[in-house]
Each structure stands twice: as C-alpha cells, then as structure tokens.
A and B are shown apart, each in its own frame.
Chain A
C-alpha cells in the first residue's frame, strides 16, 4: 500500500516538475513583450507579440479570411508584409507564387509577430466583422417576404456602403447538419449603425430562408458577418436608374436612404417589378423619397388585377418606355439573374454604357 502511494507521488511530482519547468520557461522565454503593427501606413496597433499574425489581427478585430483556422492548409489568409516578417517558412511556400513572393505576400497564419511589423491589407477588410446579434423585430412585407431587423451588441457598430451585403449563419437544424452561410443585402440606411435590416424572400426548400421564415423568433441570437460586396452607387453626375424585383428591393432602399443622408441631388428613377399587387411592398415608404430627392418611383405589375392604376407589363417593357436618352444614365440592378440579363440588354440597346451598369444577381 505504501509502495503504491510512493510510486504515485513520485510520478506525479515528476510530471508536475516538468510542467512547472515549462511554465516558467514559457513565462521568461515566451514573453516577447509588445510590438507595433503598422497597417496600411496609417493605423498603428499595439499588440502582445509572440503569436501568429492571423490571431493577433483577429484579437484586434481585423478578420483576415481563413478557411482552415490557421493550420496553413488553405492558403487564404494572405497578407502583404512590408517589413519585419523574416524569411519565408517552408510551410508557406506551397501557397505563394513567384510574383507574390516578390511583393512580400505572406501567409498570416504562419508568420509570427516577433517585432514591429508593417503590413498592408485591403481597406475593405477592416470593416469585416463577425457579430453575434439579437433579432429585434420580424414583420411580413408580403406573403413570402419578411423584414428582419437585427440589433448589434450595444458597444458595436457597423460601417457599410449602401448596397453591400452580409452573410447570415443558419445553425444546425432539420434541413442542415452543419452551419451554413448565405448572403443577404442590407436594407437599412448606412446611417443606422447599431442595427441592420434585411428583406428575405422565402425560397421553397432553401436552407437559410426556411430557417429565417419558419424558425427564427424575436429575441434569438444570430451570427452574421460582413459587410461585403462592391454593389454601391458610384460617385458622378449621371442620372441614376434603379431596377429591382422582389427582395432586390433591399439594397436599393438602402441606397435611397443613403442619398438622402448625402444630400445627393442626382436625378434618379426606380423601376420595381412585381407580378401582382400582393407582391408589392414598402410602396408608400419609397414614395416618400420623391419629396426628398430628385426621384421617381415606378412600380410595375406584369399581371395586374383590375383597378391597378400604375404601370403594367414586364419590367423590361416599362424601362423601354421610360428611358429615352441612354448615355445620360448609369444603372443599378438587383434581382434574379433572368430579370437582370433581360434588363441589361434593354439598357444597352437604349445606349447606357455597359460599364456603367452595376448589378447584384441573386445566386
């Protein structure tokens, strides 16, 4: 009995001794002190040195895209490092092309922060954050489109350009065995920084839309990240054509709200295509912009019921009727691929430059 006790004690002492030794070593050797990371020659971040650039940046709320979680097996987390990174590691080389090597592109999950670093990352990445946020309200806009308002945690803000989208996570539920992300355009104004709104149409059988329509409740927590995308109003003087169908309303609505914020005086016309009157939504709200902007709203129905006083016909026909002098315009389109392709050809025929037609197709 005594011998068993003695053996256990000695073995435990040995193990603890080694562990203690390592902890002490880590404390003295592993302490790299502070380092300063200069991002894009302007922003200076004071960080705890010693771990990888990817995780240090994550700690600073800068999210470099990475699919493998820092094991060096996806090659996505590339960052341009101007100085302070040291030599390339054997673990990076498989992912770096000769051109990238010349310009100092590194895998941020392999590069350790040991001293001051100068790095360059695309400006848009600064803005991409992950949020765990609360569903504030849900309302029906039509029989198959819901408006979801999500409040960010109190201390957090989102900065986005009107027209950009975010990815919403659908957790595991009966239709999916793993979390999936789908992209939805932000419908709210960029001036509203503590919450975001989405307009989401139920796609029969769709994993995310079914979850949002049938399972999501007020008060639930959702995970979303963003903003992403380059669908936003370009600066310039040309008149603007907006064309949308269904939940393509969302980014256009955000753009209109932004134009009010910016006191934008450009002329704009908005064609919104729907099948019947019950597919129309937010008509009154959009109409209010006619008083605040140099703006006209033209909803059009393809199968109008008797008594409809607005435009009728396919959206392409309505656009064809209204737009006369194409080169005066630039266009922003959001909707199904079929609708967008048809509208683009009409616009091009009318003389709108193809380079000035921007769109966001639902994939």
Chain B
C-alpha cells in the first residue's frame, strides 16, 4: 500500500514526467496560454495516461510476452492508445456534450502525445505490477497536469511583462520550464523512487 502511494507521489512530483523526462512538450508549449484550457488538457492527459498505461500492461504481459513479441511493443502501444482515445472521444461526444466541449476537443491532440507513450514504456522498464502501473499512470498524468497548470499561471501573469522579441512565445516558455525543472529537482531525495 505504501509503495503505491510512493509511486503516485514520486511520479507526480519528483519524477514529474514533463519536467524531468521532458515528455509531452509540444502540447505543453502550445496549450499553456490559459489556465482554463490547461485544466482541460491536463485532465484529459491524466485520464488517458492512467487508462492506457494499464491497458498496455495487460496487452504487454498477457499477449506480447507469452508469444515473445516484446519487440513490437512500440507499435502495439501506439495502436492501443489511438484506439482508446478515439473511442473515448466518441463516447464523450455522444453522452456528455459538456464534457466533450471541455475535454473532448483535446483528445485528438493527445493521441500523439509522447508523455502518454512514455508512461507505457516506463512501466515496462521499471517492471511495475498492474496496480503499480495504474498508480504510476495516474501519478504521471496528474504531474503533467500540475506542470502545465503552473506554466499557464506563470504565462498568464507574464502577459504584461516585456519579453525580448526573439524569445517571445515558445522561447521564454522553454526557459521557464527549465527553471521549473530545476526547482523540481529539489524534491529529489525527499521521496526515493
């Protein structure tokens, strides 16, 4: 039980998938302009990440390993993620227009988000169990949401600051992300992985 909590916290904070592995950067840069849209995207990432990591665990250990197909894991994971995102989008659109407007329009962006793929690959390397994987996926997703929310907050405050023209937009955002990553390293050692 303790190990589950540990995985959740470490993946969300000390080993934040965005700030320590720098995964999922493209949507992080492009959508972090407003807090409201960041919440939507972050929540969608957290949801998709926890479900797809778990699904991929099942696919990997129950189908790929028994047949010695581990070398196909990349392409199979991508297929599973794409199919899951598509179906989620369909379900949201059909049954909850409100949720679809808030989250659903971000789903197509997530299909190709490397953080989602990264979580599925890390859980294999780290030899997590099914339950561990669920918590790891959830933790990583929440961590990603946390990071994009922080960035959106900073960027909203920055609207009025004078950024050198060459750095405006993605440039300054990457620098800020770097500073945030440094700060997050400070959490290291608080929770061992």
Contacts and interface: CB of A to CB of B under 8 A. Distances in A.
Interface string B67-111: 111001000100110010011001101100110010001000000
B90 A11 contact: no
Given A21-B83, A29-B90, A86-B101, A10 B37 contact: no
A87 B101 contact: yes
B97 A11 contact: no
A11 B69 contact: yes
The interface residues of chain A, by DSSP majority, are classed as: helix
B179 interface: no
Given A10-B63, A114-B97, 11 more contacts: A3-B68, A7-B67, A10-B69, A25-B87, A26-B90, A29-B87, A29-B94, A86-B97, A86-B101, A87-B98, A91-B105
A11 B76 contact: yes
B61 to A, nearest CB: 14
A22 interface: yes
A18 B79 contact: yes
Contacts of A3: 68
Nearest to B59: A14
Contact of B83 (A18, A30, A32): A18
A25 B76 CA distance: 20
B83 A90 contact: no
Given A11-B72, A14-B63, A90-B105, A22 B83 contact: yes
Contacts, number: 48
A197 to B, nearest CB: 48
Contact of A25 (B72, B90, B98): B90
26 contacts: A3-B68, A6-B67, A7-B69, A7-B72, A10-B63, A11-B76, A14-B59, A14-B79, A15-B79, A18-B80, A18-B83, A19-B83, A21-B83, A21-B87, A22-B86, A22-B87, A25-B87, A26-B90, A29-B91, A30-B90, A86-B97, A89-B101, A89-B105, A90-B37, A112-B93, A114-B97
Lowest 10 CB-CB distances: which A-B pairs, in order?
A18-B83, A29-B90, A29-B94, A25-B87, A10-B67, A87-B101, A86-B97, A18-B79, A22-B83, A30-B90
Interface in A88-138: 89-91, 112, 114
A71 B63 CA distance: 39
Contacts of B93: 112
Q: Which of A14, A22, A30, A86 has the most CB of B within 10 A?
A: A14
A83 to B, nearest CB: 14
